[in-house]
A and B are shown apart, each in its own frame.
Chain A
Amino acid sequence: MIADTKDGIMIEGRGSFSIDQMRCNFQFGGNAFWEVKDGKITQMLKNVTYQSMTTEFWNSCDAVADERFWVQDGIMNCGKGDPMQISQMTHGAAPARFRNITVRRGRA
């Protein structure tokens, strides 16, 4: 996927995460960011966030890595409701590519 990408940003990790209560508008960050130019990782970037609407985002997905790169992730304290109810949840995924996503500077 990296070799097939002319101009992009590769994001590792989850970083900051926030989504509206209808699960439409989201803004996420990451733990490491890399510039991709002409099929190669060229340098590290910082202070990156990306924001989109859920259905637009998933409709812009044009590549998903194969099962060798699939990892199981999850958290112990996914909270919902008020008063809060907490549960473990798991969520597996492989790296994927999304086109034309809004990226912002994540620093005031």
Chain B
Amino acid sequence: MKKDDAQAIIAKALALAKAEHCEVTLTGAANASTRFSNNAITQNIAKTDATLTVLSAYGQTKGKAATNDFSDAGIASCVRRAEEIAKHSAPDTEYLPPIPQPAYLDVKAHFPATGAFTPDDRAKAIRESCRLCEKAGMNLAGSFATESGAWAVGNSKGLFGYWPYSDARYLSTVLTGDSSGWAESLSNDVTQVNPLAATGIAKQKAEAARNPVEVKPGKYTVILEPAAAAEMILFMLFSMDAKAAHEGRNGFAGKENTQITSPLITLRNQPDHPCCPGPPFLAGDWDWIIPLTCGMPVPETMWIERGVLKTLMYSRFWAQKTGHAYTGMPSNLILLGGDASLEELVASVDSGLLVTRFWYIRYVDPMTMLFTGMTRDGLFQIEKGKVTHGVKNMRFNESPLAMLKNTVKVGKAVRTGIGLPNLTPPLLVKDFTFTSGTSF
């Protein structure tokens, strides 16, 4: 979706608007993916689509409608539906009117090579990886996906924003009869993705995890590789609504400006970080944690600084009501890393477990932020500074706050594909609670 095309569609919607306020979001992308398993391609998908979302408001009543029909009639119908819904809705007492044109960060995240990547290109990379595993008598499964698109926003105060982006992500799971290993490679620029290297790591993990032993549930010193740590942080984000905390409805109640984690933990966002760029503004329909105003710039925010919770997520309404700075929701995350390599972290552990990644994390109790989930694709015993053998997977019941409080070492941060664009280091954590095992 080119800038001119996006601007023309948004202008058309705004010109048709009769409501007091109108906000428009247009997101569109070309997605392509190839999936594979048992060392062969199983599926190819290509999809191009875009969605126009219109929010109309009369005073405090608002309505929203969406369409992917960009004909004149389609756009008009969408605007009329939003207005009709607004007229029949109860007032939203927290609604605030559209904002005038702000300045946006110039966030470079679009690489033409990603959009130009073909099914043949994906197949060639996958074939190389399949051959590597086939020769070793192992099975490779995974996906290679690309996305090239843009976000655009506009409103009745004359605001316009446009942000093009691209993403490429290769995922590999290597399986033996009784073990598996996982690794990913991702970048906004597909030429920086290295499928064979990721497959090599997954293969090495699967090999090392053969003949897994069972260990008893209990508290263990763990090294959480970046994908595992990032997933815990992602779920923790869901509890970071300042309003809910102030009303005693989440696990961060009463914790602002207090030491909540180890001083080794610093968590911030920076939309224009070159290693994990995020959108410079958020669309109104990204409001899955706090209400968001279409086109508000994403500020750079320090969330946790050396263990102190500096701020939670403040919507425009809650920021105004409390006199706090607006934070909105982050569009990327950077958990500050250290200098230690993963190998150095392992070498520092006398007895513990190395966790490649987690699976199916869910809240058990939002008020204490107790999560449960499983280890997956590479759980290893560490003995006297060395990875000695694979371990059968385990279920944990643990809080991310306890995890970050018990963090005693932080390794080098890398980009992971878990949730928001992020840089996350491996974490060495004491007393991580596993509560049961499984059969593999």
* Of A33-41, A47-55, A59-67, A87-95, the one with at least 4 CB within 8 A of chain B: A47-55
Question: B97 within 8 Å of A by Cβ?
Answer: no
- Residue in B closest to A55 when the chains form the complex, CB atoms: B439
Q: CA A83 – CA B145 in complex, angstroms?
A: 8
Please report whether the interface of chain B is mostly helix, strand, loop or mixed according to DSSP. strand
Q: CA A55 – CA B364 in complex, angstroms?
A: 23
Interface residues on A, range: 20 to 34
Report which of A17, A20, A81 forms a contact with B393, defined as CB distance below 8 A. Answer: A20
Q: Specify which chain B residues have a CB less than 8 angstroms from the CB of A20 in the assembled complex.
A: 359-360, 374, 376, 393, 395, 438
The answer to whether B365 touches A106 (Cβ under 8 A) is: yes
Q: Specify which chain A residues have a CB less than 8 angstroms from the CB of B359 in the assembled complex.
A: 20-21
Q: Specify which chain B residues have a CB less than 8 angstroms from the CB of A51 in the assembled complex.
A: 395, 435-436
The answer to whether residues A22 and B440 also contact, given A47-B365, A49-B364, A107-B367 and a CB cut-off of 8 A, is: yes
Q: Specify which chain A residues have a CB less than 8 angstroms from the CB of B399 in the assembled complex.
A: 108
Identify which of residues 157-186 in chain B touch chain A, using a CB-to-CB cut-off of 8 Å: 171
Interface residues on B, range: 20 to 34
Question: A102 within 8 Å of B by Cβ?
Answer: yes
Interface CB pairs A-B, < 8 A, 6: A16-B362, A19-B374, A20-B395, A51-B395, A51-B436, A104-B435
The answer to whether A29 touches B437 (Cβ under 8 A) is: no
- CB-defined interface of A10-30 with B at 8 Å, one 1/0 digit per residue? 000000111111101101010
| Residue among B145, B362, B363, B369 with the highest chain A CB neighbour number at 10 A | B362
Q: CA A42 – CA B59 in complex, angstroms?
A: 51
Report which of A83, A102, A108 forms a contact with B370, defined as CB distance below 8 A. Answer: A108
Q: CA A16 – CA B363 in complex, angstroms?
A: 6
Question: A73 within 8 Å of B by Cβ?
Answer: no
- Residue in A closest to B393 when the chains form the complex, CB atoms: A20
- CB-defined interface of B341-367 with A at 8 Å, one 1/0 digit per residue? 000000000000000000111111101
